[in-house]
Structure formats: structure tokens, C-alpha cells
Chain A
Amino acid sequence: MCGAGFGHFEWLAGGGAGQDVGRSCILVSIAGKNVMLDCGMHMGFNDDRRFPDFSYITQNGRLTDFLDCVIISHFHLDHCGALPYFSEMVGYDGPIYMTHPTQAICPILLEDYRKIAVDKKGEANFFTSQMIKDCMKKVVAVHLHQTVQVDDELEIKAYYAGHVLGAAMFQIKVGSESVVYTGDYNMTPDRHLGAAWIDKCRPNLLITESTYATTIRDSKRCRERDFLKKVHETVERGGKVLIPVFALGRAQELCILLETFWERMNLKVPIYFSTGLTEKANHYYKLFIPWTNQKIRKTFVQRNMFEFKHIKAFDRAFADNPGPMVVFATPGMLHAGQSLQIFRKWAGNEKNMVIMPGYCVQGTVGHKILSGQRKLEMEGRQVLEVKMQVEYMSFSAHADAKGIMQLVGQAEPESVLLVHGEAKKMEFLKQKIEQELRVSCYMPANGETVTLPTSPSIPVGISLGLLKREMAQGLLPEAKKPRLLHGTLIMKDSNFRLVSSEQALKELGLAEHQLRFTCRVHLHDTRKEQETALRVYSHLKSVLKDHCVQHLPDGSVTVESVLLQAAAPSEDPGTKVLLVSWTYQDEELGSFLTSLLKKGLPQAPS
């Protein structure tokens, strides 16, 4: 760590989590190192705006030279969707860090999105499968709590974040300066994942998401009850329920929710999940079982929670089967593929229901039905009348206000930076953090830079010889009582060491020079010089009981290295000049003696 130690935190292009599915992408400059946090995409745009504008990162040379590394917090596309574009099309060629589950699942979602972009929109200039693979080859997967040395100065460490399988918070550390980036996290365990956790790492800055900055937790339980009730009621009256979901993530949480309910209620109505994805999900949840919550881990040996008894693989012919059923189908915004196909088949029947468990961007059928449109224009000017019931229930796992406060309390940062949230909610949370936790809080808008000064602490190694010498003086070190230690500071090879002056001279091959300070003190004394010196000796002997005060045969007096000599100026026989001389080591003592003697000598007994 070098330089003045100014943190530089750039919120490059983020997204309001509210009514906008944003692009999370943050540039952090810490003690001369540049780290990009997340590389998300915006699903609401079909043009260049879907990706962050990376030209803002640096106009000074190549990105690979400028950035020391990229860190991806989890596999959601608003956090990793632009990664293949960034690494294979923009040309970043440096390391990318993410957890093992994220590395495994990320390409599936990217591939899924690519297929939709190419299939549905016919986009030609989009990243290819090969690009996704080449991008994933640049990934360095990390374990939780493993300190990874990016280079000699920069290290990162991942902490469990909940939210989705493999989601992690990252601590980025350069010397004594550090930043924690939370990504998306959840502070309360859910049905398949545990709660986020971080140690008291006291970073200079905590960058936290604030999606649910004003939400209260209980509402989630209510939503779950409501969800089950609605599904149950629909199938009871013979209707079909369509739940559009993304391949991996919250879909598994909803599956566990329904599976448990079906088991408890002993329901026989079939539940289906898009073919191929159940196996894939099972595979990854089995592979990364340590990333799930305690309950699932414990019962895993007896029963794998992800091998569902009631949920079966879906075949497109099933959509026409008579009778009730529940189908989880992809993609989640009803913008292509199987979910849209089923929706078209079922939309005309008022007994059926579609439950949208996540946000939909404009330009999708999901967005249309959520905004209450009931007559949808299809290709060839056909009109689809939506008679089925449409429900929206959010099931995403973000920390609520209490959770965010809890995390800030756990990590004890010097400052907090809020991202990934709506301005109004962030403002509320900012005040709460500042008032209750007494921590300064920032909430930069997209493209804004926040600069935080830090006080870098510079570690100094002390030589054993010096320590031993100090110990030999009989004073044992005490944690609560700081002590002064004298030595010579050597700066060599970017290291600082405190050694004894002798050792320093030896190491640096220098000859020793003595430096003495001399001062004249005028004393009013009519006696002879020898007598004055004797009086000085007696006075100092009585005052400095702990020091070695000597009267030398030549008439001079010494106190440690301080030498005192009395002389008589020829012009004034009533005044004596006392020459006080000391080495720089006894600077303190020399100054003390000078000031003491300036006060004059005590009256001699008459």
C-alpha cells in the first residue's frame, strides 16, 4: 500500500432495483488498485444500453492494464449478464473472480439469455456460446472464507450471502485498507439457503445493496401463505396454474414451498417443471450442498430436498391435458419459449391463473399482463383475450432494512455506500444508518464518484535485538500502556523496520557520527568555577535521583551523556557560564537540565 491512501469508489452504472432491472457495475479504486464489482446487464433494452458503458472506466489505455480484477457476486443477469460482452467483445483479458457455484451456474443463465436474444430477437451481434465459454475460462473460482491473493498487494475474501445458490459478499483488501461489497444478500434463512454472514472485518467502506431498504420481513411470510392459498384454490376448482420462472434461483424455493404444501395437504394434482431444468437444478444443488441451509444439509443423506416427489418433468403435450395442474415454465417474463406457449394456451380460460413471481421489463407479455392489459395483440394482428387470473407476488430474497442494519453492525465499517435501490428508500435507510449507527453513509447516483479519504496504517517490523534491549531494562510491555521505543527506521524493499542504531549502521554500512547539542546557561554566582560546578553537582544529584550524576576530576559534571562545565566570562566575575552539552539520544534530558538550570541554583546554606 502506498500513496496518500485515498479510496475512490465509482458507481459506474447501477440500476434502481425498484421499477427497473438495472446493471450492477461498480468500480472501486483502493490504494492504487482498481477492481470492478459485478458486470450486469439491463434486460429492458435491446440496444447498447443493456450493457454498462465501459468506456467510462478508463480512457487511459487498455482495460486489462487498468483493472486488477473483476469480481462477480452471484449469477443473476443484472450482476453478470454483461460479462462475456466485457471480456470477449470489449476485450478485458484479466482475472475474474466468483464462487464455485456461480462459476458453474453463470454460463447456463448466460446461454439461456443468448438463446432467447438470438432466437426471439434475431440478434446477430450478440455474444456466442464460444464467447461464454472463453469468458468462463478466465474465471478463478474461490471458496468461502478463502483469502485469495490477486497480486502481492491485493487480496479478496468471499463471505456467504444467501440470496441465491453461490451468492457471496466480497472483502477487497490492500494493505490496511479494505472495502466490503455485499452484492445481493439475505439476512434471514429461507427454505433452501442460509443467512448471510460476515465477520467484524471493520472495512473502510461497506457497499451494500438496498433493494428492500424499507421493507418489513413479515410481508414475505404473508406472501407465501397467499401464494399457496391462490394455487390451492385454483386447482381445487379445476383450473391450471402457470408460474413463469427463470431456470435457477428462486424457482427452487417455490418448488420446495409447493412440495411441502402438497405433502402436508396430501394433494394429487400434478406439478410440472420445464424439462431439463429440474435435472440441472438437482445436479447443482447436489454438487453444492454445503451452500444450502443447515436443514437441507442435515437431511441430505436421508433425503435430497431437491428430488421432488410431487414435481415432475414437463412435456409440451401435457399443456392440453384436461384437469388441474401447476406448471413452472421458463422464461420468467413470458417473453419467449415454453412459458409463453403455455400462457397462450391457457389465457382464455378464467379458471386458470398465472402467477408472476418476479419483475417483468417493458416489451414482454409479462409486463403487459402485470399492467392490467387484457387484450394482447399477437403476430398477424391476432388478439389474445386474457381471461385467466393474473397475480404478481415477489419472492426475491433481499435483506430488509433490519437485515441491512444488522450487517452494518456486524461488519462495523467506517462508512456505508448504498446501491441497488430506489432513491426514496435509500434516503430513509441512510438517515437510519447515520443516526443509529453513527456511520457516514453515501448513496451515489449512476455515474457518480464518491471519494473517501482513509488513514493508512503502515506496518513496521521491530528487530528482535531492539526488543530484547528494551526488555532487559526490566519494563515488560503492557497492552494498555503504550511505551516509547527508540530505534532507527529503515525503509528497504517497500518494507519498514525499526532496529537499533548499531544494527542500522551495520546493515547500511555507514560510519557513526556523534552529534552533540551545546547550550550556554548563565548563572549568577560569585564563587570560583570549581565551586559552582560542585554546587551544580549537588543540586542535580538531589533532583535526579534515578540518573547517574558524576563529578569528574577535571571539575566537569556528567548526567548520563550530558556534560556540564562551568566557566567564568572575563567581563563579569559575578556571572558564571555553564556549558551544557548532550547527545541527540539524551535530547530530552539535555533540554530538561537546561531549563532546570536556567531557574538558578538553590541558595547555599549560609
Chain B
Amino acid sequence: MDPECAQLLPALCAVLVDPRQPVADDTCLEKLLDWFKTVTEGDIFFPVGSLNLTPCKKKVWELLGEERSSRGTPGAVPLVTPGLGRPHRVQCRAAAGAPLPGGAAVPCAESPGPEFWGPLLLTPPGRNLRSPGKLLPVSSGAVDTIFSLQGDSSLFVASAASQLLVHVLALSMQGGAEGQPCLPGGDWPACAQRIMDHVEESLCSAATPKVTQALNVLTTTFGRCQSPWTEALWVRLSPRVACLLERDPIPAAHSFVDLLLCVARSPVFSSSDGSLWETVVRALSCLGPTHMGPLALGILKLEHCPQALRTQAFQVLLQPLACVLKATVQAPGPPGLLDGTADDATTVDTLLASKSSCAGLLCRTLAHLEELQPLPQRPSPWPQASLLGATVTVLRLCDGSAAPASSVGGHLCGTLAGCVRVQRAALDFLGTLSQGTGPQELVTQALAVLLECLESPGSSPTVLKKAFQATLRWLLSSPKTPGCSDLGPLIPQFLRELFPVLQKRLCHPCWEVRDSALEFLTQLSRHWGGQADFRCALLASEVPELALQLLQDPESYVRASAVTAMGQLSSQGLHAPTSPEHAEARQSLFPELLHILSVDSEGFPRRAVMQVFTEWLRDGHADAARDMEQFVATVLQVASRDLDWEVRAQGLELALVFLGQTLGPPRTHCPYAVALPEVAPAQPLTEALRALCHVGLFDFAFCALFDCDRPVAQKSCDLLLFLRDKIASYSSLREARGGPNTASAEATLPRWRAGEQAQPPGDQEPEAVLAMLRSLDLEGLRSTLAESSDHVEKSPQSLLQDMLATGGFLQGDEADCY
């Protein structure tokens, strides 16, 4: 702890314990607790050095639980539960007649206070407390309180109570005061016994919430505790769990599924135990389609499980798509999906019951299969062709072009027509399926359905976006003709059909569609810019011209995407057709983009321009290479004036690329990298420095070093350090220290610091620059800049000062929230 904080803390404790003093808000109190946790390493009720924090901490806990935040729950005490992944402040309220844990307002001799709860809650499960035996006063009623809190109206409290119960169970199983771990088969400790009795009782309860609570406690236990006693626990409780399947309807089905999967995943659990798999097999046939899917997916994701079960689970997962295929396929379809999949009446019922149940089931199925597809443990053989066929059918049902083969098919046609939700899910899955191989005709089908989707006037912007994404994935994964640089046989024809559709979408009234179309164009040309088929199809279309027009789009997002797309097309000489009538359009794009950088009112297009320019410089684009110095000077001059720090930071990135090209690339700092011989700079150093001065790079970099936006200053610092390292290798210039320019450099720095430009660009002399570089403590600056700019305000000292200062001023004012 800082001495400053140690000095402030007693005063804060005095303020907190004084009921007349105004208290800080909940946020401050939570932050204070966070800090206590860090300084005491999770053991907040033990003194820190000579300073005993206990009274202060107690008060914070009380305050957090006061009426102000918990509303009408006097005597409440907050619990900080680290097990949730983040600390949650919850109010522990007293159930009728139960003693309050640590309730200051309702003192109870029997109830454990923060001395009990604090360390318990702040210790991760499985970690030994100093003396857990002493901390588990079973007779005190503490556990009963937790039982009642499981049913609290607050989700946070109920969830925390369940986790706390697991915590207590784990601690009690760690051993009593003697610290001896309990062995499976032996007597359960009294506290654990009570918890298990409670769980058993809850599992038999007719009230679903009780069953849910019990199942959740068990799931958390098996998920977190991997000691042998958990297996004994399962042996004891599994019959009760299995009994739930005999009820109609099965209570808390989703918690039931979670528990089964959690037990199956537990490393402690012996996989040869047939009772678990028996229950799982039964569950797969008893549960409704809503819960069957997650269970089936969970089983298929398991590393070890009986093959027969995997087969059954996969059939369950495929069931809805199999139904769809059966309902629409006129002739027997490709083998795989329909094999062994009996018509499941429940699945058909769900598909036919209502639009939302049908859409829900299909969306879930598609999402599950999408999750399964890339996994190494996915079933083999993977019915790629059938899945592709089914997904295409689903999409055709959505766009109304599917031909029903039965009454179920007719019903599905009516239900799914225009269903955006299912369309989106199917397109996502279709995109994922592009990663697998399939017969040619199915690839054609997939591309055809995607094209229809992109073309359909009824497609919503979100559907179009997903269709573009799926199309891109299919195109980029399409097989190429071996030994040929051109695209496969299917693609050229597809591209010829695609570009007119893309043209249409570039003129769509919704900005979202125009933007998605531009993003698609950028990606496609990035990957295929060098392919003759692609170039040919693109240049034969009006796509480049339309993209160029979108540089003037009213929507800034679209302008930015148009800049990126045009930058990409231009890099590959695709920004305008080569025919003589398009000579005007083939003119350089540079002035156009520079104009956007200078005048666009929004940051996105300006940032996009800077990225394009940086890429151009890096790749030696004609516009940049023609007169590189002029190009860099012009861009830096405009970028340095920009109000958006990200544009300025990008300007420094461009400057770094230029530096690399002038002085050689940056050295690798990787200790394991093979050290390559230093590439000789393109020109002598003085000349190179003069070029850097000429383009105004130093003016820009030195101004940026004192930029009020930290990332700009950081980037500039890195750039100057790189420059200094480079120069250091030149002995002739190394000893110029103390020369006549040093004084002038030192005089210039404060002016830069104040945000003024020192000299007109290009007037800097290399010697003056070197002098300035030497006079700056760049390492020191870099370490200062590494700290966040609000590190002072968010320090513990600042928090304590703020809490102490809270009072008078805010009290008289009206509360405000924007």
C-alpha cells in the first residue's frame, strides 16, 4: 500500500463509520472493496501491517447493503462473489425467521458475520482456507439462510446463493478442522450431509424452481470441483436425477441437460459408468426438440462417449433438416442425412405447430450444426452433401421457390416464406459449409441460391449482408483448376452473373446494403485482384464506376468503405476499364482521396484514406511512387491538421513506412529470429535526413510527440526511437552533441509542446533534427506514455481523496443522469 493511501485510510474509515457524514456512491464503495481485495490478496479481514482495516471494511459492507441500494431490505449484507467471473454485489436478505448473516441492523448471536462470509466468498473453490472447520458453523443456521436465498427474487442473489452453497460444500468436503479430506464412501461431513439432503429433497419437489435450483447446484459442483468425492456424490444422487425423466413434463429440462453434460465432461467421472450414458440415452428420447438439440450437440462435443450414443445424438441433431428434406425432395435425395432417421413425430409437430416454433427449431438446429462443423470431433463421415442440400432447401423454402413433395412440405412453404430469421441462420451455416468439399452440382446449387438471395428484391439488409459473406466464403474456397492460375470452371460464369447483381446492390437505398456490397467488393478484389477471369468480369461491369461514385455517398460509413474499395481496386489497376472512353476515369485517384482527407466532415472516410495511402506507399502504388517525397509531404501536411487523433496516428504509420523505405526496415526485436544482415539504406544518411526534413516528417513527428491524444504521442515516440536507433549506426553524425544547433533545438521544443509549429515544413536542417533527437529523453517519455492518461484519477489514492471529499457539494444539488 502506498504511504499516501495509508495516510488517507484512517480518515476515510472515520468518515465511513460516522453516520452523520455523507457516504460516497455505490460505485466508489465497490471500487474501495476492489482495492481492499488487491491490497490484502483476497483475505480482506486480516490486518495489513500495522493498520487494521476491519472496522472500515465492515462499514463498507454494511453501507453496500443499506436500504439505499437494496431497497427495503434492512440489515442486508453484500456478498462479493468472485466465482461469477466478476465481482457481484448482492444483497443477502433474511428469509422469514432465518438468521441474517452479519446483519448489523439485526444482530444475531447465532449468525456468522463478515468474518465468516468474507474469506469464504473471496476464496476460489478448491483453495484451502486457513481453518475451514472453524468457518463452517453448520448449526448456526447459515446454510439454511443460503437455502432460502436460492429462491430470492433477485437473479443475482439467487445465483450467488447457489454458488455459495457449492463453495460451502466444497470447503466442507476439504475436511474438518483436522484438514483430512473425505474419502468417497466414507461418512459425509455434517455440513455436506445437510446440503445433499437439501438437494435430494429439492430434486423430488413438485415445484420446478426447486428442481432447477438443485440441478444448478449440482452442475456448478461438477463443473468446479474435480475431487474424487464428486463421483461419490453422483453415485448417490444420480437415481434421483434419472427419476426426473419419468415426470411429464420433465421439470427444468435445460438445467437437466446442463447437468448431464457437465457430469459427462468431468474428468473425475469414470467414463465406463453405464448409468450416466443410460440416463443420457433416455433423455435423448424423452426430451422435447428444444432441449434435445443442446443435449445432442453437447454429446457430440464430448471427447469420450459411446459410439452408439454419438450416432443417436447426431440423428437427433439432424432430425429437423431431415424432415425438411423429406417434405420437399421429390426423388430420393443424396444418401446420408435421411439414412436411419425415422420420422420423428415430435419434430414434425414442432415444425408444424406455429411459425415461431418452426423458425426456432430450424435456427437452433442450423446454429448447432454450424458450431459442430469445424470441430475435430464432429461425426465422421460428415454428411456434407445432404446438409448442403437441406440448407439450400431451407433457403428455397424461405424465398418461396421450393417445391413441396408432401402436405408437410406445403405447410413448411407457407410457414417459412419470407422468414428472415431462418434465412439468416441458413446463410450462416451455408457459409460454414463452404469449408467442406461437395459434388460440383451442389456447389452450383449453393452459388445459385446465394445469387437468388442477393438478387431478390425482398431480401432485407441483414440477409443481404449474410448472403454477401456466405458468397465470399464459397468463392474463396472454391477449388481451382490444378496447375492453372485462373479460377475454376464454375466461377467465371458465376462472376458474370454476380456483377450485375452487385451493381444493383451498390445503388440500394439502404446504406447498410451499399456498405456490405462495397466490403464484399474489397475482399473479393483483395484475394482475386490478380486473377484474369475476375479482372475481366469486373472491368466489363460498371462496378468500379459505381464504387467511385460512392465516394460522394451521403452516409459516412459508405464513403469510408468506398475509399477502401477504390484504394484496393486502384492498387490492382482495376479502378476503371482500360478502354479509351474511360480514359478520364482512369486518371489518378490520389487527388480525389486527398480531397476527402482534407474536407470530409466525418472521421471514418478520412481514416480510410490514410489507410489506403499507407498501403499505397508500402506497396509502391503508382500514385505514391511517382514522386514519393511529394506524396508523403502532401499527405502528412493534411493529416497533421486533422482533428481526429486516429487520422494523425495513421499519419505517423505512413511516416514510419516512409522512414523504413528511406533508411531501411526496422530491426526485429525477436531474440529467436535469424538476424539478417542490415540492409543498406537507399541513400546516404544526410541525404535521407534531408528528404525526411523536406517532407515535413520531423515537424509532424515532433508536434505529435506532445499531442494531447496519448496514442499519437506514443506512436511518434516509437517512430523517433526507431529513427534514433537507425542514426546511431552512423558514427560521423553521432558526435555532433553540443553543436550550435542544440540550443536552437532546445528552444524549439517548448513551442512544439505548446502545439505550435516551429518552422515552416522542410526548413529543418538534419543537424538540428539530430540535436533535438539527442536532447529528448525518449525512453522516459515512452514509459510515461505507457501509463493510461487517467492513471492518476483512477489510482487508489485518488479514490480515497474523492470519497473523503464527497459531501457538502453534491448534497444540495438535484440528482442528474444526462
Contact = CB atoms under 8 A, between A and B. Distances in A.
A136 B556 CA distance: 13
Nearest to A56: B155
Given A65-B367, A115-B646, A364 B153 contact: no
A279 B643 CA distance: 14
Given A19-B25, A56-B159, A396-B816, A119 B645 contact: yes
Instruction: Name the residue in B601, B646, B709, B817 with the highest tally of chain A Cβ atoms < 10 Å from its Cβ.
Output: B817
A120 B515 contact: no
B516 interface: yes
Contacts of A337: 708-709
A46 B294 contact: no
Interface stretch (B179-187, B694-702, B807-815): B807-815
Given A48-B86, A61-B294, A93 B355 contact: no
B601 A279 contact: yes
Interface in B473-526: 512, 515-516
A446 B258 contact: no
A287 to B, nearest CB: 10
A133 B557 contact: yes
A447 B788 contact: no
17 contacts: A10-B155, A19-B810, A21-B818, A49-B30, A64-B367, A107-B557, A111-B603, A122-B789, A184-B818, A276-B643, A317-B755, A341-B708, A362-B27, A362-B802, A378-B792, A379-B791, A396-B818
A49 B156 CA distance: 13
Q: What secondary structure prevails in chain A residues at the interface with B?
A: loop
Contact of B28 (A12, A362, A422): A362
A99 interface: no
Query: Which bucket holds chain A's interface residue count?
Result: 35 or more
Contacts of A20: 25-27
Contact of B790 (A47, A138, A151, A336): A336
A317 B755 CA distance: 9
A92 interface: no
B801 A137 contact: no
Interface in A488-536: 494
A525 B604 CA distance: 104
A157 B708 CA distance: 45
Nearest to B68: A423
A184 to B, nearest CB: 8
Nearest to B792: A377
Instruction: Name the residue in B24, B91, B354 with the highest tally of chain A Cβ atoms < 10 Å from its Cβ.
Output: B354
Contacts of A16: 26, 69
B813 to A, nearest CB: 5
* Top 6 A-B pairs, shortest CB-CB distance: A394-B816, A447-B156, A17-B817, A44-B27, A371-B805, A19-B25
A365 interface: yes
Contacts of B254: 59-61
A377 B798 contact: yes
A76 B708 CA distance: 26
Interface string A16-49: 1111111000000000100000000010111111
Nearest to B512: A137
B461 A65 contact: no
B793 A211 contact: no
Contacts of A118: 711
A487 interface: no
Given A119-B645, A371-B805, A394-B813, 17 more contacts: A19-B25, A19-B26, A56-B159, A107-B557, A111-B603, A120-B710, A136-B512, A336-B789, A338-B708, A358-B818, A359-B818, A362-B25, A367-B802, A371-B806, A423-B68, A423-B71, A445-B70
Contacts of B799: 362-363
Contact of A447 (B27, B157, B801, B806): B157
Interface string A291-320: 000000000000000000000000011000
Contacts of A192: none
Given A44-B27, A119-B710, A280-B601, A359 B159 contact: no
Interface string B251-278: 0001100100000000000000000000
Nearest to B806: A371
B749 to A, nearest CB: 16
Interface in B582-620: 601, 603-604, 607
B154 interface: yes
A275 B27 contact: no
A19 B790 contact: no
Contacts of A422: 68, 815
B666 interface: no
B462 A138 contact: yes
Given A20-B26, A65-B364, A363-B793, A119 B817 contact: no
B59 interface: no
Instruction: Name the residue in A164, A316, A373 with the highest tally of chain B Cβ atoms < 10 Å from its Cβ.
Output: A373
Contacts of A456: none
Given A119-B711, A120-B788, A368-B805, A17 B815 contact: yes
A373 B603 CA distance: 36
Interface string B74-91: 000000000011111011
A363 B798 contact: yes
A370 B793 contact: no
A240 interface: no
B29 to A, nearest CB: 10
Interface string B155-174: 11101000000000000000
B807 A371 contact: yes
A347 B733 CA distance: 44
B424 A93 contact: yes
Contacts of A42: 27
Contacts of A19: 25-26, 810, 815
Contacts of B31: 362
A21 B790 contact: no
A76 B818 contact: yes
Nearest to A61: B294
Contacts of B56: none
A485 to B, nearest CB: 28
Given A122-B788, A336-B790, A373-B805, A446 B156 contact: yes
Interface in B36-83: 67-72
Contacts of B788: 120-122
A588 B216 CA distance: 56
Instruction: Name the residue in B85, B516, B789, B818 with the highest tally of chain A Cβ atoms < 10 Å from its Cβ.
Output: B818
Instruction: Name the residue in A64, A279, A378 with the highest tally of chain B Cβ atoms < 10 Å from its Cβ.
Output: A64
Contacts of A358: 816, 818
B367 A62 contact: yes
B112 to A, nearest CB: 24
B357 to A, nearest CB: 10
B356 A152 contact: yes
Contacts of B709: 119, 337
A605 B808 CA distance: 103
B794 interface: yes
Nearest to A138: B462
Contacts of B607: 129
A336 B789 CA distance: 8
B354 A494 contact: yes
A42 B67 CA distance: 21
A244 B155 CA distance: 38
Interface string A435-479: 000000001111111000000000000000000000000000000
A322 interface: no
Contacts of B28: 362
B363 interface: yes
A94 B258 CA distance: 24
A246 B818 contact: yes
A368 B807 CA distance: 12
B813 A152 contact: no
Contacts of A362: 24-25, 27-28, 31, 799, 802
A42 B787 CA distance: 23
A153 interface: yes
Interface string B627-649: 00000000000000001011000
B154 A447 contact: yes
Nearest to A369: B809
